[in-house]
Structure 1
Amino acid sequence: MIPFLLIIFLLALGIQLFYIIFVLAKINKYPNLEEEPPAKLPAVSIIVCSWNELSNLQELIPLLNSQNYPTFEVIIVDDRSHDGTYDYLLTESHCFEKVRFLRIEHPPEHLSPKKYALTLGIKSAKYEVILLTDADCRPQSALWIQGMAQLLNAQKDIVLGFSPYFSSKGFLNKLIRYETFLTALQYFSFALYGMPYMGVGRNLMYRKSLFFNNRGFAKHTNILGGDDDLFMNEVANVHNTAVCLEPETFMYSIPKETWQDWYRQKTRHISVSKYYKKENKIALGLLASSQILFWLSLIALIPFVFFDLLKYWIIGLFLLRLIVHWVVLASANKLLDRTISTISIPCWDFLITGYYLWMGLNNIVPKRRKMRWK
């Protein structure tokens, strides 16, 4: 039993150290060497799709309208809202010179409401560069558009931005912020490593031509989610994708406040990962499974080696992985606006293993999901 567990432990440890040192640590070398930003910044169309988001739009629209950028527009796509959003847009949108809106009354049944709303917004956009966010998001500064747009050039068609969650009291909020930080760390680092696999629609920029040249969401119209990550998984590559980690471009978002809402959100997000490219699924699967096996084999080995000198080697290897992981994530946390508590990283590293197990098993069981916004 001990040799088997030890092999599993060492194998998982080796995979973990490879990912931590050679992939996740890539983010800490930002800013990477990029070409000079374009002399003339491109005109940008910001698209916000909403469903019953009146209070959020009342806060967000003035912030978007006042962005410090030469040429841009803000398109609000209202999907059948019944909370007063339509009346607000009718009576107040003219007060904001950059803002216009579209109203959806009858979305098609074959396409998720969010994907249909996005498609209409992109078709309606005046400008070639599309910048996406959600109604419950708030830009960190008036330089959000500028910071994202300056990374576009002749080679780059996509800019991945960061969208952390606001901090509040409670364990759920801490879990949401850590999981969001970890997800961002992974997709940013993989992109810098040369394997971009996803983006987050709360802060995402790409060219309109890229969307239509790839037939938009045509390859995954039957999938509930994926309006951001599946599309990015399809079109992003090492050559056309840039990463933006400038603090003024961060787009903060309002997190879920109940376990049920968060669970629904995460199951929707994770359910689309099965449609990623094969190489992405293998890479992400190895990362998650090696962490699970590392902790499980460590726990299983403890009773067998408690009175053996082997325990000192195991403790040493455990501490090696703990310290390397802690240092890399702590450095990344500074870069990402200190969105989590640095001292809590080892604790969350253990707890997130249970999350991986739970969500992985949940994703295996097929479920029929009704198409809905959130």
Structure 2
Amino acid sequence: MITALLILWLLAVSIQLIFILFIFSRTAFHRQPPRPEGPPAESAPGITLIVCARNEYENLVELLPLLNAQQYPTFEVLVMDDRSTDGTQSFLENDIADLSRVRFIRIDKEHEHVTPKKYALTIALKKAHYPTVLLTDADCRPASTDWLAGMVSPLIDSDSGPDIVLGFSPYEHRPGLLNLLIRAETLFTAVQYLSLALAGRPYMGVGRNLAYRTKLFFSNRGFYSHINVLGGDDDLFINEVANGHNTAICLDPATFMWSKPKETWADWRLQKRRHLNVGKYYKPGHKLRLGLLTGSHVLTWVLGLAVGILGLCRLFLHDSFTTTEWLLLLAATGGFVFRWVAFWGVVGRISYRLAHTVHWASIPFVDPLLAIYYGIMGLRTLFYRRTNRYQWR
């Protein structure tokens, strides 16, 4: 039994090292093209910023002036007000006259054939004045007035260039374990989708900070293949249309879009359930890669704990190891330690580049914390029954 556990442990550690050294290192050492000095040229193509909102009055009051102040020659801010009842409509109709870039469209009813946010976003893309869109949410705040220019720069440099730019959206730092877990999970998700995009295997993006050409949306029939799936207006769409040739990433700190984290465990669990429900619609190859990554991460720590306990029990019972078992134990233990240090170094460097999402000194403790999180969420996915209770997003 101990031999089988050691072989499985060594295999899990080896898979982890492949991801860390050959995939994640791409983001850790990626050279972000420098931003051109000075403001974008007046001839730069127009951009439509899209914010879909439902009952986000307080957030829109803060966000819209920040979007309106972006340093870019030609752009509009299109707000999709989806049946808000909190004063959003009155605010948009009466209080945004001084925000010259902002316009809005009001949606007055829900449609059965499509989830509300996907409907709002589809209408926004149809009504956009410009052929390139940059998406965010009402509870987000841009890191700088160069957010727009930086995010779309890969798209405006050449018509033959990429059609998609994946950005990063960190969560604000708050005290407590929940906030640490949210930031750690956000960091590691970014490590995965940014690194796999650099490896030519993009599989998702986050709608809080995502740019693409509208022609890509309509040439792929928009959200048609997952129109009734709650969520997926960002990651399922990117999963379907992105490839190694049409996707770029942006790691410029000026282009980060800060977001407000959930403040209760219940709200966060609900958000994670929606994300897990979406993940099962990914392409088979993407699910296989992510399954190998997540499964090996969990097994690295679970099997390490199991081998440690069994080893101590055998020593306590004076049951000696065979030569083969000793060799496997030394190889697996050495690989585990090397993997732990490599994870710390590579993910720690990425965290440093991604707005210090998680302090480097916390990475060794975040590593097993993520393994516990992925293990629990994996079990919940197996036993959780999907309900038809839709929410706006």
TM-score by length of 2: 0.92
User: Match of 1:252, SS?
Assistant: strand
User: Match of 2:105, SS?
Assistant: strand
Measured against aligned partners, the alpha-carbon deviations of 1:63-110 in whole angstroms (never above 9, x if no partner) come to: 000000000000010011111000000101222100000111112112
Report if the CA contact (8 A) 2:80-2:106 is conserved: yes
User: Match of 2:97, SS?
Assistant: helix
Q: 2:251 aligned with 1:245, yes or no? A: yes
Per-residue deviation, 1:42: 2.1
Query: Which of residues 343, 346, 351 is equivalent to 2:364?
Result: 346
Show the counterpart of 2:18: 18
Report if the CA contact (8 A) 1:42-1:149 is conserved: no
Per-residue deviation, 1:302: 0.8
Measured against aligned partners, the alpha-carbon deviations of 1:202-237 in whole angstroms (never above 9, x if no partner) come to: 000000111111111011012111000000000000
Residue 176 of structure 1 aligns to which amino acid in structure 2?
I
CA distance in 2, matches of 1:112, 1:194: 31
Write out aligned runs for 1:1-374 (5 A): 1-31=1-31, 40-152=43-155, 153=158, 154-306=160-312, 307=315, 310=326, 313-364=331-382, 365-374=384-393
CA distance in 1, matches of 2:145, 2:184: 26
Which stretch shifts more, 148-157 or 224-233? 148-157
CA distance in 2, matches of 1:303, 1:263: 32
Report if the CA contact (8 A) 1:41-1:150 is conserved: no
Per-residue deviation, 1:313: 4.8
User: Match of 2:185, SS?
Assistant: helix
Structure 1 residues 12 and 131: alpha-carbon distance in aligned structure 2, compared to 1, 3 A threshold: same
User: Match of 2:358, SS?
Assistant: coil
Measured against aligned partners, the alpha-carbon deviations of 1:301-346 in whole angstroms (never above 9, x if no partner) come to: 1133234684655443321111111000111111111111111111
Q: Unaligned stretches of 5+ in structure 2?
A: none
TM-score by length of 1: 0.96
CA distance in 2, matches of 1:312, 1:9: 12
Report if the CA contact (8 A) 2:10-2:331 is conserved: no
Report if the CA contact (8 A) 1:49-1:78 is conserved: yes
CA distance in 1, matches of 2:334, 2:203: 34
Report if the CA contact (8 A) 1:113-1:371 is conserved: no
- Identity of matched residues, %: 50
Q: Unaligned stretches of 5+ in structure 1?
A: none
Measured against aligned partners, the alpha-carbon deviations of 1:229-254 in whole angstroms (never above 9, x if no partner) come to: 00000000000000001010000000
Residue 347 of structure 1 aligns to which amino acid in structure 2?
F
Runs of 4+ in structure 1 over 4 Å off: 36-40, 311-314
CA distance in 1, matches of 2:6, 2:366: 24
CA RMSD for the aligned pairs?
1.8
